[in-house]
Structure formats: structure tokens, C-alpha cells
Amino acid sequence: MKPHLILTLILGSGLVPALEHLSAEPSSLAPAGWMTGAPRAEIQPEFEFDAGGGSDGNGCLIIRADSREGLDGWWTKTFPISGGKAYRFSALFKSSSVPIARRSIVAKIDWQDDQGESVPLDEPTVASYLRGHTGTAETEFPSVRGIDPKGWTEVSDTYRAPSRAKRAAVTLRLQWAPGGEVRWSNAKLVESEPPKARPVRLAAVHLRPHGGKTPLDNCKQYEPLIAQAAAQNADLVVLGETLTCVGLGKKPSELAEPVPGPATEYFGSLARKHKLYIVAGLFERERHLVYNSAVLLGPDGAIVGKYRKTCLPRSEIDAGVCVGNDYPVFQTRFGKVGLMICYDGFFPEVARELANRGAEVIAWPVWGCNPLLARARACENHVYLVSSTYEDVSSNWMISAVFDHAGEAIAQAKDWGSVAVAEVDLNHRTQWVSLGDFKAEIPRHRPVGDWEK
């Protein structure tokens, strides 16, 4: 049996300057520089180093909680760095009896000066609040990636260190998991190439079809606007809600069509012609059911996927429209896209579920809605949101626009029959005073839903 090292937290500083061990064999000593800590002695878990229990047969750092609620502790190591250079962090973990890993198993990085103090950010923070405050480099939370065949989960990300940083404190944590255990393996922080940008051009169309007699007449009114967006190198073009019925004076059940069907075939041909993605809203029929749906068409003209509206207003319920029950997110050539429709925007759960599933952009065909909700949904999830509405700007209601991570409309189509295009970087990390990169914090800090228990 391999010797194990049981490490006991020394009270006071929270970090252990020396480690008490039960075995003197060199193979059982924790790697140089790794120390343990806990917020308070009475909630510290048990720490152990297994010299041969790691993902590659080398050592792993173990944190083990007993049956009590609220235990919280970590392994930590400080790495010397050069400010302004890029570094890649990576680690692997394997857990048991940890029901909500996203909350309980946390890797984090803190940029520090020589004295272990925080350092200022180099890039600007969101300027619309806490004006005059200097942005500090807040804690980084690397992303959870895939699981390898042996059951080890990767946590990794690449960062540019603040120019005044001299070291990085890496912390590997287990918290709030009674009876749980985590094994951390192969934790590294190494100099690397800077993170690359992922630019994408998002387009919002502002058009309310009129004068048509058939659903296809309405569809054709979007053709020149899609061409305008393509001329501006748009990657994604968002059209209106249930556009096949606007102004035709008929019930949803009379105009609903299958998917695939005439409308998706038409917009698919335009997507293929211009080699871009199109989101179009329509009433969808499946047997006796009618849905308010949004369909994502790809550059090859094929249907990438569809979303059925999950929050229905009274008028649609009374018209016999059926409610959707899923929140799909679709991989595109530029990133992950989620869809929601009009009334969904009044309820934060829809956008949050799309973000939980990895959506980086949310396309939102919307008849009309409170524009403050567009800002909120984009800001609270740190997603780019693209809306296409039938409201005139004079009504001071919903707008056709592209919203950024701070909830600001960075491009707006104000005139009927116009297109707004904005280029964004999906790898841009929006920084907030006191919060840092809030998008990275969401999986760690958002509450636990009933479906996760």
C-alpha cells in the first residue's frame, strides 16, 4: 500500500507554512510550494497527498469532507510570472460524492504583486457605473472543459497577466459537499501564446412585413435586407417573430407550416447564397400542434436547429398555440447560438438556461418587449443578444439591435427596412469594477436549481 500524507491546517494565517505529516518517506511528501488552507479551522476538510494517484500516475492533491455541512478548504501554490505575458492554466480533477461540481469544485487564480497584494487591470472596465473607480484584477475562474476516458475533468484557460503582476496564486478548492472528495492532478501555469480573438459579425434586421398576401410574400421582403447584411460580412442575421403571419389577418393555425417547409426552404436558399446564418420566426405545425418557433438556417442552407417558445402570452394560449419545453443551443462555425422569442424575454430563466448550456449569442425575434429586459438578459448572462422587432423607435419600446455583455446597444437599426451590424469578439472578457470577469463567475456562484439536486 502506498504511503499517504495527511496534512493538517495550521491555524492563524489560513495558509500552511509547514506541513505536519504521518509518513516520512520522500515519495509521500506534497510537491514543493503546495500548501493547504481553509476560511476557518472549524470548517476545514481533510487534506491528503497520494504520490501515485494522479491522472498520469504521479501525485494528486486530495481534499476530503466529512458528513458535516459547509466544509471548505483548498490547496494553493504561488507561481512567479512576468507581468504582461500570457499564461495557460490547466488542471485535472476527479471527484466522488459531489452532487454539484460546478459550485463545489473550484479552481481560481489571483494576480498579485511581490507583496501578495492585488494589482490594477490594464484594460478598461465597464464605464457606466462606479465612475472614477480603478479596476483591479479580480479572481479568475478557469473554465471546465471535457472529461477524458479515465474520468478526469479538465479545467483550463489562457490569460494575459496584468502588467504589474509578479506572481499568480493558484487555488484548488472543495467546498459545500458533505461526504465529498476531489483529487486534483497535474496543475500547471505555463507561459503561452496570448489568447486569440474570435470575431463574429452580428446583424439585426428592422422590418415589419406589409402588403403581402401570403406567407412567402412576407418572406421575400427580407431578401434585400439579408443581402445588405451579407454585403457587410455578417455571419448571423436575425429576422422577426412569426414573420409568415404578420399583416395577413389569419389565425396561427391557418398559417402554420411544417419545419422543414416553404419558409425554411426559402430562407435556407438565401443562407446558402450568402454563406451566412439566418434566424427566422414562424408558426410551426406538427400534426395537430402549432408552435411559435424560431429556426436557425446554416450557410449550407440546411436547418441547424429550432426552438419552440416556452413562455406564451395570453393571446397565443387562447389561440391554441402549444408551449415548448426545451432550450437547445447550437454549434456554428463561429460559436454557440441560442434562440428565444418575444415574451420569453420577460422571464430571466429562458436566457439563463441558454447561457447555462453554453450560448455565447442569443438570437431574439421579438414582436415587442421592454428594452430594459434586452439589456438585462444580455448583461446578467454576459451573452451577445441580437433582437429583431416590429416596434417603431418612436414608441420607446423594443428596438432592433445588437447588445453587448454590459447590456449596451452597440448597433441599432432605427429606420424601417434597415440593418444594424456589429462585430464582436466572443473571447473578449468584459471586466467590471469589483466583479472582474463576471461571465466566468456565473457557473461558480449562481444558485443551485431544483433540477440539479
Residues involved in catalysis: 241, 309, 342
**Amino acid letter at 178?**
P
DSSP assignment of 379-438, as one string? Answer: HHHT-EEEEEES--GGGSS--EEEE-TTS-EEEEE-STTEEEEEEEETT---EETTTEEH
Cα separation, 179 vs 427, in Å, equals: 37
Cα separation, 430 vs 406, in Å, equals: 8
Beta strand 46-50 with 167-175 is unpaired
Determine the length of the chain. Answer: 453
Contact 423, 384 (CB under 8 A): no
Task: Identify the three-state secondary structure at position 342.
Answer: helix
Angle at 118 between CA 114 and CA 122, to 5 degrees: 100
Cα separation, 273 vs 332, in Å, equals: 17
Contact 135, 111 (CB under 8 A): no
Contact 36, 149 (CB under 8 A): no
Please state the φ and ψ torsions of residue 377, each to the nearest 5 degrees: -65, -40
Residues forming beta bridges with residue 374, ordered by sequence position:
none
Cα separation, 444 vs 102, in Å, equals: 6
Contact 206, 414 (CB under 8 A): yes
Query: Of 42, 30, 177, which is closest to residue 102 (Cα–Cα)?
Result: 177
Contact 27, 51 (CB under 8 A): yes
Cα separation, 450 vs 413, in Å, equals: 40
The secondary structure element, H or E, covering residue 445 is helix 438-445
Residue 210: how many other CB atoms lie within 10 Å: 11
